Structure 1
């Protein structure tokens, strides 16, 4: 169980840092993030703030103990975010090096979610 917890918390910490680092500029409405969302990706101006707020709520859901259903929803939201981000970069003509990091981010997400499920299973089996 110790190995599961270590891998879970490291991958989860990195995932939360990734989500927060992309959420904060959107919520704050920085000029760079607004220009990127509106000009480059062709989304409406409010989209960055809305998505950023959802990411912050998802991170909070992963941090607080308990509430397994809300954690599942947060993981689902992060999965959608990563998939839709990838599908937003490819059509605007970004080269592979521009969207390749999302493959790594998605792998990090899969590790975090897999070890979240392993922790739940181990706790249910009474392994500590």
Structure 2
């Protein structure tokens, strides 16, 4: 029987690997400026250069989340993922996009929260104020 700690680690690693794969793949697509993605961003009303910014942030965020140590940087990466994905979900909702278009960023938003919540103690930043 699995204990709670082991279950939490499994949830953490599954969600973190799926999150990382999603951010890595979309970040690469954004940096390569794939035509469909570029057209989609333009149709949503955003400038094309935002793709470079988002792509770089996503790739750096994946590295920060996966690499051990650098706990403060991890917190910033999770926060960045949360802001990027919540902004994407909101943009889709405001433009009344279909569920199929809104679901991928929503899934990455959920994976961000789950990964952050279930991260092991050695990957948590503990602040002590004196």
Partner of 1:126: none
Structure 1 residue 93, shift from structure 2 partner = 2.6
Q: Residue 91 of structure 1: CA displacement?
A: 2.1
1:70 matched to 2:70? The reply is no
Tell me the distance in 2 between the aligned counterparts of 1:114 and 1:33: 30
TM-score normalised to structure 1 length: 0.83
CA RMSD of aligned residues (A): 2.2
Structure 1 unaligned residues grouped into runs of 5+: 124-128
How far 1:103 sits from its partner (Å)?
3.3
Distance of 1:75 and 1:122 partners within structure 2: 12
Match of 1:33 among 30, 37, 43: 37
Q: TM-score, normalising length from structure 2?
A: 0.82
Question: Where does structure 2 lack aligned partners over 5 or more consecutive residues?
Answer: 125-130
Deviation at 1:88, TM superposition (A): 1.1
Residue 121 of structure 1 deviates from its aligned partner by 7.0
Query: Alignment length, in residue pairs?
Result: 121
**Secondary structure at 1:113's aligned position in 2?**
helix
CA distance in 2, matches of 1:37, 1:17: 21
